[in-house]
Amino acid sequence: MLVRILVLLYLVGAPALAQTLCQPNASNGYRVRISIKTALGNQAYEWNENEMFLFQATMAFAMRRYYKTETYNVDNIIVCNQTRRVSFWFVVISPENPTMLIPKADVEKAVSALTTRLPCRPMSNSMSRHRINNAFLLTDRTLEFLGIHPTLAEPVNPDTPPWLIVFGVVIGAVFAGIIALLVSSLLQKRRKEKGMMEDGQDEEDRQMKGVENGINLDGIYNRGFTDDDRFTKL
């Protein structure tokens, strides 16, 4: 009889106790703020009990992952004070001792856990956070754990800055063009010189004929006869 009363008390009292453990501004609790419509727009889903269950399950998953030893369950994640916003408080209780709350720091570590086995991904160093976000199709900005700052995404640092590559291409093309043009000018001059040496005979003939219309540029125009204006007429 006494055992039955105690069992009844335990069954009734535990959730009540659990509820008192979870309070707004609890010392070991975190506030979560979810903005589904901001993230998904027209494809936003409704936040209901099932989604809350998924949240509890993912938190339990994060705790299991971090503490590879203990087995956490959905019952260990206690949620309270849900608002329309959607925001709520949650605390994590230890599976062995239902009255003991997991300290805030450990919960934070579990949420933003760094796994050392896998290589760092460029998007986010926090594997668990990444998984939690993906479960809800949300991002670090729309699924906020108030008090846990998202680790800043490490910028991609390529070995050669991209601008150097573009610069290399441009300057290579320009120098190739300069060299090509200089070489072709040089060749043209050499060809002209060779040509002038070969028909030097023709040059003299042309000079003797005099210049017509100023179009024939091979001869030297006799300027003594052109600058009439510089001499005053007598």
Partner 1 sequence: MQLCCFLSLSLPRAGLKQGPSEHIDNDHETSLPRPKWNNKAEYLLTCIGFAVGVGNVWRFPYLCQIYGGGAFLIPYLIALVFQGLPLLYLELAIGQRLRMGSIGVWNSISPYLGGVGVASMVVSFCVSLFYNTIVAWVLWYLFNSFQEPLPWSQCPLNHNNTGYVEECVESTPVNYFWYRKTLNITPNMETSGSLQWWMVVSLATAWSIVYICFIRGIETIGKAVYVTATFPYLVLTIFLVRALTLPGAYEGLIYLFTWEILKNPQVWLDAATQIFFSLSVAFGGLISFSSYNNQKNNCEKDAVLVGVINSATSIYASIPIFAILGFKAHTNYVSCLNGNILALTNDFDISDMNITVENYEQWFDSLNGTHPSRVSDLNLKTCDLQTFLDQSASGTGLAFIVFTEAVISMPGSQVWAVLFFIMLFSLGLSSMFGNLEGVLTPLHDLKLVPKWMPNELFTAIICLLLFLMALIFCLGSGNYWLEIFNSYVGSVPFLIIAFFEIIAVAYIYGIGRFSDDLEFMTGHRPNIFWKVCWLVISPLMLFVVLVAYVAVQAQTPPTYAAWNPDYVNFPDTEVLPYPDWVFAICVLLSSVPVISIPLVAIYRLICCMSGRHSKDSLHNDPNPYANEDYVVERARP
Binding interface with partner 1 (CB under 8 A): 33-38, 83-87, 152, 154-155, 162-167, 170-171, 174-175, 177-178, 181-182, 185, 189, 213-214, 217, 220-224, 226-234
Q: Which is nearer to partner 1, 16 or 146 (CB)?
A: 146
Least CB distance from residue 184 to partner 1, whole Å?
Answer: 9
Residue-wise DSSP of 3-54 = HHHHHHHHHHHHHHHHHHH--TT-TT-EEEEE-HHHHHGGGPPP--HHHHHH
Residue with tokens 């003939």: 205
Least CB distance from residue 141 to partner 1, whole Å?
Answer: 10
Q: Which is nearer to partner 1, 28 or 81 (CB)?
A: 81
Least CB distance from residue 145 to partner 1, whole Å?
Answer: 14
112's CB contacts (< 8 A; 6+ apart) are: 126, 128, 129, 148, 150, 151
Least CB distance from residue 102 to partner 1, whole Å?
Answer: 26
Q: Which is nearer to partner 1, 70 or 218 (CB)?
A: 218
Q: Measure CA of the first residue to CA of the last residue in the chain; give whole Å.
A: 152
Q: Which is nearer to partner 1, 28 or 35 (CB)?
A: 35
Least CB distance from residue 188 to partner 1, whole Å?
Answer: 10
Q: Which is nearer to partner 1, 5 or 155 (CB)?
A: 155
Q: Which amino acid is at 184?
A: S
- Length of the chain in terms of residues written: 234
Least CB distance from residue 17 to partner 1, whole Å?
Answer: 27
d(CA 46, CA 142): 15
User: Contact 136/53 with Cβ under 8 angstroms?
Assistant: no
Q: Which is nearer to partner 1, 34 or 102 (CB)?
A: 34
Q: Which is nearer to partner 1, 208 or 220 (CB)?
A: 220
Cα 128 to Cα 52, 65, 143, 198, 234, distances in angstroms? 18, 8, 13, 86, 107
Q: Which amino acid is at 151?
A: T
* SS3 (DSSP) at 140: coil
Least CB distance from residue 49 to partner 1, whole Å?
Answer: 17
Residue with tokens 């291409």: 169
